[in-house]
Amino acid sequence: MRPEDVRVHRRSTSEELEIEELSWQLACGPRTQAYLLKPAGSRKRLPGILALHDHGGNKHFGKRKIARVGPVVHPLIKTHQDCYYGGVGWANEMARRGFAVLVHDVFPFESRRVLASDLPGHVVRRLMSAPDEVREVTPQDLAEDVPATQIDVPDSEPEEKVAAYNAFAGQHEGVIAKSLFCAGLTWPGLTLAEDRAALEYLAQRPDVDPERLGCGGLSGGGLRTVFLAGLDPRIRVAVCAGFMSTWRDFLLNTSYTHTWMMYVPGLPALLDFPEVLAVRVPLPTLVLSTTEDPLFTSGEVRRAGQILEEIFRKAGASEGLSISIHAGAHKFDLPMQAEAFQWVERWLT
């Protein structure tokens, strides 16, 4: 994707940051919206960071979960950032340290989300029905089809409507995954293509040094980091927070709580999950986990770390890997952010 393919909708300055509100059109679906944040007044090429937003069971929001743009913060965003990010938009904090930070929505979040009104009404009703109410589709269902527009969220974004949309979005992942498989695609492959398009734009900006690029994120953002950093050598430094375990863990213990966005059929027979990230060896890699993360089992988190350490050691690149386990639950809080920022600065500045 070229810079001329990107539309700049608005430029502003806030809290010593220059902010650009951007969008671009991918091969299908609505336009991707994004923010570019960098230090105000900067006149030199900056190291670039692709900040990857989380999943969090909240598809109504995407980039806004990790960036703050404008004077008003939605109450649900504040709650989300208080819970997982120490009460800040970490993309803003990263930009203040001298980076050009690009944050974009990925399918199916925020500007890239699937609207209920885009689907046949009987499909939406089936997704939203209680399990004991689901039955076979009848010709009458098809004849009386009416789009379920009441689930879509108006511009005012009332909290109850956001909750209703997220309930719907939480049910459509299986349908989307099956549709992607039927098209010969995988969800991680689709996400990777969108993240690489954003990376391509970031690398071509005249204010960004294409030799100093990194990425990182928490949870779903950590998952995206595994695939993007593992498979794209332009990512010189990576920070995977809150998403490192083994396929064995997902198989035996935690598949019930994870998204369809992580599965590539046949991949576990070829590479264990940490080995996907380890494809980038010897490039610098930081893995952050927590002691009480309910999304993973602690034994498999440690085993994933051992797999990574062995690979980097065999490559003579042990200095390029850091694994840090913080106390607490699923999060990327201020102490974890401080460690991540220092790691990125060490290798990019």
Tell me the per-residue pLDDT of 42-71, one tens digit each, with 9 for 90 and over: 989 999 999 999 999 999 999 999 999 988
Distances (CA, A) of 190 to 26, 63, 70: 11, 18, 30
Kindly list the domain boundaries of the chain, sorted by start residue. 3-111+187-348, 114-182
pLDDT at 2: 79
Residue 20 has pLDDT above 70, yes or no: yes
Would you place residue 122 in the very low, low, confident or very high pLDDT band (cuts 50, 70, 90)? confident
Q: Point out which residues pair with 240 in neighbouring strands.
A: 217, 287
Instruction: Please give the average per-residue pLDDT across 302-326, as a whole number.
Output: 98
Would you place residue 181 in the very low, low, confident or very high pLDDT band (cuts 50, 70, 90)? very high
Rounded to the nearest 10 degrees, the angle between the axes of helix 75-84 and helix 159-171 is 60
Query: Lowest-confidence range among 75-89, 131-145, 220-234?
Result: 131-145
Read off φ and ψ for residue 110, nearest 5 degrees.
Answer: 45, -110
> Does domain 3-111+187-348 correspond to CATH entry 3.40.50.1820?
yes
List of residues 6+ apart from 72 with CB closer than 8 A: none
Residue 192 has pLDDT above 90, yes or no: yes
Rg of the chain (C-alpha set): 20
Residue 1 has pLDDT above 90, yes or no: no
> Which is more confidently placed, 135 or 177?
177
